[in-house]
């Protein structure tokens, strides 16, 4: 069942996704070579709880952490660990919150230190494909319009799109209908109605689109070991233009400050 949210519900979802956006920016402040990914997880959990929410991922279907931290060839669902980030790594940080009966969910892929230009381009294209997907997410379009926008842009730039993992509705549950693939055809799939809240989250690979699940039962990795990038925002379907509940502005401010 696809839910149409009231404005009161959308406000609670906005508050959650605002907190997720701020949490990712807090994590951005400490990403550097030599830091263990479990330290990122601890910082996120502290920040979320300090702001009156619970980590949305912790315990979700048994997941053991507050963040999914996915390095290099890990597409999504990486478990934070003692692994210390290295110069040239990329790391996708996926964060969720639960507050006032609703969820927030967003992801951003960071470069660590000096990232090779070809990998940096992967990050740029994946983020741009997300924005194109959001542009396609308008009332009376269909889910396929979103996937087509993401896929066409990624493939035009020489990358591939993961098929096994998709975006989703967001509300009282972390994952709700409809599924929002990052590939597809215009005019195909459920119709987008005003008031629907969905997460759009391109997962784009430098090499093959093929992936596999790690032996830990969580991490999804590229079959060929090449890097993968992941960006995610929550949006409300409106007429004319989607309303973004997630913002990367806080992250961009932190990164700009760190790079100056």
Domain ranges within the chain, ordered by starting residue: 7-259
Range 212-225 average pLDDT: 97
Q: Where residue 260 falls among pLDDT bands split at 50, 70, 90?
A: confident
pLDDT of residue 41: 98
Q: How many CB atoms lie within 10 A of CB 182?
A: 26
d(CA 66, CA 37): 11
Separation in Å, CA 29 to CA 10, 43, 62, 112, 253: 29, 10, 28, 12, 10
User: 109 forms bridges with which residues in the sheet?
Assistant: 92
Among 95, 89, 160, CA closest to 125: 160
Whether 259 shows a pLDDT value over 90: the answer reads no
User: Higher confidence at residue 259 or residue 47?
Assistant: 47
Taking only the tens place, the pLDDT of each residue in 107-159 is 999 999 999 999 999 999 999 999 999 999 999 999 999 999 999 999 999 99
Please say whether the beta carbons of 220 and 208 come within 8 A: no
Domain spanning 7-259, CATH class: alpha beta
7-45 pLDDT tens trace: 999 999 999 999 999 999 999 999 999 999 999 999 999
| Cβ pair 204, 160 in contact under 8 A | yes
Contacts of 61 (CB under 8 A, 6+ apart): none
Q: What is the pTM of this model?
A: 0.97
| Residue, of 259 and 94, whose pLDDT is higher | 94
Q: Which residue(s) pair with 63 in the sheet?
A: none
């Amino acid at each position: 069942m696809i839910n149409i949210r009231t404005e009161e519900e959308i406000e609670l979802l906005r508050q959650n996704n605002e907190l997720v956006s701020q949490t990712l920016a807090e994590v951005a402040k400490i990403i550097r070579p030599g830091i263990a990914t479990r330290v990122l997880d601890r910082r996120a959990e502290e920040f979320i709880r300090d702001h009156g929410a619970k980590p949305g991922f912790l315990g979700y279907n048994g997941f053991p952490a507050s963040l999914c931290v996915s390095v290099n060839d890990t597409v999504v669902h990486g478990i934070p660990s003692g692994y210390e980030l290295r110069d040239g790594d990329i790391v996708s940080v996926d964060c969720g919150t639960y507050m006032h009966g609703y969820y927030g969910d967003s992801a951003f892929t960071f470069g660590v230190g000096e990232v090779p230009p070809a990998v940096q381009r992967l990050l740029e294209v994946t983020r741009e494909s997300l924005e194109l997907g959001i542009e396609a997410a308008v009332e009376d379009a269909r889910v396929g319009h979103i996937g087509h926008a993401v896929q066409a842009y990624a493939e035009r730039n020489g990358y591939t799109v993961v098929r096994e993992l998709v975006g989703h509705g967001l509300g009282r549950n972390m994952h709700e209908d409809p599924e929002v693939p990052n590939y597809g055809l215009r005019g195909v799939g459920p119709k987008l109605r005003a008031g629907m809240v969905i997460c759009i989250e391109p997962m784009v690979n430098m090499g093959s689109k093929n992936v596999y699940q790690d032996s830990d039962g969580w991490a999804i990795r590229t079959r060929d070991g090449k890097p993968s990038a992941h960006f995610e925002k929550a949006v409300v379907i409106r007429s004319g233009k989607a309303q973004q509940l997630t913002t990367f502005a806080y992250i961009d401010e932190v990164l700009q400050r760190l790079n100056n």
